[in-house]
Amino acid sequence: MKRRKLTFWLIVAAVLVLDRITKELAPGIPAGGIMLIPGVIGLRYAENTGIAFSLLSGVPRLTGVLGLAVVAGGYVWLRTKDIAPFPTVALALMAGGALGNMADRLIRGFVPDMIETLFMNFPVFNIADSCLTVGCVLMMISLLCRPKDWAKL
């Protein structure tokens, strides 16, 4: 259990560091953007004052406080639980992504986004968003394919 908690915090820290680095570099992206893989993915700087898909735009501090409450509540509930390795990774990715975006909402009043899909019309997103999404997918896989991991909770 101790090793899983260390793994959890190392993943959270890695997500936060990578997210912070990319968000600090994002304002330097040229106005026309940068094509990384033609027709597939590029970089374009955007500022999002809302949550997913710009929902609740214009109230970033409120969404930041709500995010803080969810992360804190999850931490308090889960800190004494013995969670299996697969869900531990999923939760760590989700926590790191949530904390990264929450910090930006509270400090900056917006979340910097920079990753743009060119093959479909999709909002610009960031590393924290990606980690949240991957964490959610892993969590769904865990819940559907490994329900015994959740029996003790």
For residue 36, give its domain range.
Answer: 2-150
Over the stretch 58-88, which tens digit does the pLDDT of each residue have? 666 777 777 788 888 877 877 777 788 888 8
Domain count, the chain: 1
| Least confident span in 51-55, 70-74, 94-98, 122-126 | 51-55
Q: 113 an active-site residue?
A: yes
What's the pTM? 0.86
Long-range Cβ contacts of 121-127 (<8 Å, 24+ apart) = 123/48, 123/53, 123/54, 124/44, 124/46, 124/48, 126/19, 126/22, 126/23, 126/26, 126/100, 126/101, 127/15, 127/18, 127/19, 127/22, 127/23, 127/97, 127/100
Q: 104 an active-site residue?
A: no
Over the stretch 94-119, which tens digit does the pLDDT of each residue have? 999 999 998 998 889 889 999 999 99
Catalytic residue among 82, 104, 129, 149: 129
pLDDT of residue 56: 66
Catalytic residue among 19, 82, 104, 113: 113
